[in-house]
A and B are shown apart, each in its own frame.
Chain A
């Protein structure tokens, strides 16, 4: 059965440089640099990535960073809390827009 997302395609990620080498190489170099130990630990960065993966609903990223956070010693509770952070921000983003709705209600109401 054909689907838009195929888990095996994640392994082909590196080959995107075949169509645009210079930009692709720069992206992967930047990507590698971002995830190195820094002011944030690699473990903290991996949990952030897991949360963002859920926020942007990227199946490849969810697979990759579920494995990566587990490899970095995170447990299910910590991982789920990271997803709740994503959910809270996404939910909060919807809800905070209600202030615009409220403003408009006031604007057009007697």
Chain B
């Protein structure tokens, strides 16, 4: 399967989704995200801190998942270069960033991935370094076989997507054969000590619905995943993060194609939760694009909505004070982060 961009699909243009969402719920209407934030006194939305730097190392990936908001895949060539990573290191060093969250695509496919992780660890021995590992990359090529060992050596936390504990649902979202490879990769991570109680090596899983519905209670899902993965495959993990699919990119394409767009948006809006809105991840995170531009979150990055901080929009121009004072850019796709128990890269927020 090709990426939307390679297919020259109109949804691969960020303006397509933004225009559709704006037309469906105009800013001055009662159902716009801006209006809902205003009603609870949260507009304009501003940061409470900048603790997390989420860095997209590139859009290249060995998988082509049907819901991917990055539209990542083997045909995507956008990749972060070492010079941009050096700017990131400077910011991490100077501004006491507590968490560095590495994402992609498959971040491990960036040729400077290991150098970057080792550099972060050497300048900040206490930082939390997270890698969003798609699991199958570990088995994709002999050069990745030692990733579990590399992660352990650098005390990297691993966060991995597993939409379900059965092959049918996992493969329907992530591609044929992905489930079996993911299970083998999880077993390798467990063998390395990841997810094993007392090891100190963190392995968290991400659940996101395989369709046009919201995730249920995170706690209940975690219990079910732990039970089934243990029983069937002797797999252990630490926590499950339940994440809502955001109506952009490939998931938006699916919603439109399956005639679920309107009902899904209605559901997100009906389930708007003020507590979840208080805790959205953009309030303590800056997202860095593969080319070094700065965004309020990974979704805004894919929609090319740069931070509203004109003199500090690139990692090379980082101005902590100005970024902290910025107004967070919100659009109607943000309803995805505020529905129900809320959604962030670390799971629920309410």
Chain A residues whose CB sits within 8 angstroms of the CB of B225 once the complex forms: 73
Q: Are A73 and B213 in contact (CB under 8 A)?
A: no
Name A71's contact: one of B164, B166, B169, B214 (CB within 8 Å).
B214
Chain B residues whose CB sits within 8 angstroms of the CB of A71 once the complex forms: 209, 213-216
Tell whether A84 is near chain B: CB-to-CB under 8 Å.
no
Within the assembled complex, what's the spacing in Å between the Cα atoms of A70 and B164?
A: 11
Tell whether B317 is near chain A: CB-to-CB under 8 Å.
no
The size of the chain A interface, using a CB distance under 8 A, is 13
Interface positions, chain B 203-224, Cβ under 8 Å from A, are 207, 209, 211, 213-217, 220-221, 224
B contact patch SS: loop
Within the assembled complex, what's the spacing in Å between the Cα atoms of A77 and B228?
A: 14
Q: Are B168 and A72 in contact (CB under 8 A)?
A: no
Name B220's contact: one of A41, A70, A75 (CB within 8 Å).
A41
Q: Are A75 and B217 in contact (CB under 8 A)?
A: no
Within the assembled complex, what's the spacing in Å between the Cα atoms of A66 and B166?
A: 18
Within the assembled complex, what's the spacing in Å between the Cα atoms of A70 and B213?
A: 8
Chain B residues whose CB sits within 8 angstroms of the CB of A43 once the complex forms: 216, 220, 224
A63-81 interface mask toward B, CB cutoff 8 Å, 1 = contact, 0 = none? 0000110111101110000
Chain A residues whose CB sits within 8 angstroms of the CB of B214 once the complex forms: 71
Tell whether A42 is near chain B: CB-to-CB under 8 Å.
yes
A70 CB → nearest B CB, Å:
5
Name A42's contact: one of B168, B213, B220 (CB within 8 Å).
B220
Tell whether A67 pairs with B213 under 8 Å between CB atoms, given A73-B220, A76-B168: yes
Q: Are B164 and A72 in contact (CB under 8 A)?
A: no
B63 CB → nearest A CB, Å:
21
Within the assembled complex, what's the spacing in Å between the Cα atoms of A2 and B81?
A: 61
Chain B residues whose CB sits within 8 angstroms of the CB of A76 once the complex forms: 168
Name A75's contact: one of B164, B207, B215, B216 (CB within 8 Å).
B164
Chain B residues whose CB sits within 8 angstroms of the CB of A77 once the complex forms: 166
Q: Are A73 and B224 in contact (CB under 8 A)?
A: yes
Q: Are A73 and B168 in contact (CB under 8 A)?
A: no
Q: Are A42 and B211 in contact (CB under 8 A)?
A: no
Chain A residues whose CB sits within 8 angstroms of the CB of B168 once the complex forms: 75-76
Chain B residues whose CB sits within 8 angstroms of the CB of A68 once the complex forms: 216
A29-49 interface mask toward B, CB cutoff 8 Å, 1 = contact, 0 = none? 000000001000111000000
Chain B residues whose CB sits within 8 angstroms of the CB of A72 once the complex forms: 216-217, 220-221
Within the assembled complex, what's the spacing in Å between the Cα atoms of A42 and B217?
A: 9
Q: Give the residue name and chain of the B residue nearest to A66 (CB).
A: B213
Interface positions, chain B 196-247, Cβ under 8 Å from A, are 207, 209, 211, 213-217, 220-221, 224-225
Within the assembled complex, what's the spacing in Å between the Cα atoms of A24 and B168?
A: 41
Within the assembled complex, what's the spacing in Å between the Cα atoms of A70 and B220?
A: 13
Contact surface of B with A, Cβ cutoff 8 Å? 164, 166, 168-169, 207, 209, 211, 213-217, 220-221, 224-225
Contact surface of A with B, Cβ cutoff 8 Å? 37, 41-43, 67-68, 70-73, 75-77
For the complex of A and B, the 5 pairs showing the least CB-CB separation, nearest first, are: A72-B216, A71-B216, A73-B221, A71-B213, A70-B213
Contacts A72-B220, A73-B207, A73-B216 known; 10 new A-B pairs at CB < 8 A? A42-B220, A43-B220, A43-B224, A70-B211, A71-B209, A71-B213, A71-B215, A72-B217, A73-B164, A75-B164
List 19 A-B pairs, Cβ < 8 Å: A41-B220, A42-B217, A42-B220, A43-B216, A43-B220, A43-B224, A68-B216, A70-B213, A71-B209, A71-B215, A71-B216, A72-B216, A72-B220, A72-B221, A73-B164, A73-B207, A73-B221, A73-B224, A75-B168
